[in-house]
Amino acid sequence: MRGDVIDGAGGGIVGTTWELLKMGAAIVNYGMTGLEQPVFPMQAVMKNVELKGSTMGSRREFGEMVQFIREKRIRPVVDRVVDGIENLEEIEGLFEDMRKGRHFGTLVVRIKGVRKEYSGGSKL
């Protein structure tokens, strides 16, 4: 296992994950929502880390991606969950973690009654 990284935020992901990656690993980026400019340190180059990027792609490609995730049983890393939008202080803590880069994985605000839990199905 190479320890590949799949990232939807971009920015400083290479600089913060290259030490975790094995020789020949890949970082796959499908979005650049982060404000930070990408940095590719020489240590990542020496490990032959490959940086792959993608635009949103076609509807067919999206369906293939959903199928791949289902088949490989890929699950997101969830760092922290806050239950309810009324917990404003905890939600502000999520934003503070994002601002300071203290989180690893997804930060979730669970809003009860909005939708059912994900069942693994797809509408595609």
Quick: pLDDT tens for 41-83: 888 888 898 888 776 677 888 889 889 999 999 988 899 999 9
Task: Give the side-chain half-sphere CA count within 13 A for 116.
Answer: 4
Alpha helices (H) in 23-111, listed in sequence order: 42-46, 59-72, 88-100
**Banded model confidence at residue 10, pLDDT cuts 50, 70, 90:** low
Domains of the chain, each with CATH number or no CATH: 1-75 (3.40.50.720), 77-115 (no CATH)
Averaged confidence pLDDT in the chain: 80
Given the structure tokens 């503070």, which residue do they identify? Answer: 96
CA quadruple 18, 21, 23, 25: dihedral sign: negative
SS3 92: helix
Look up the pTM and report it: 0.44
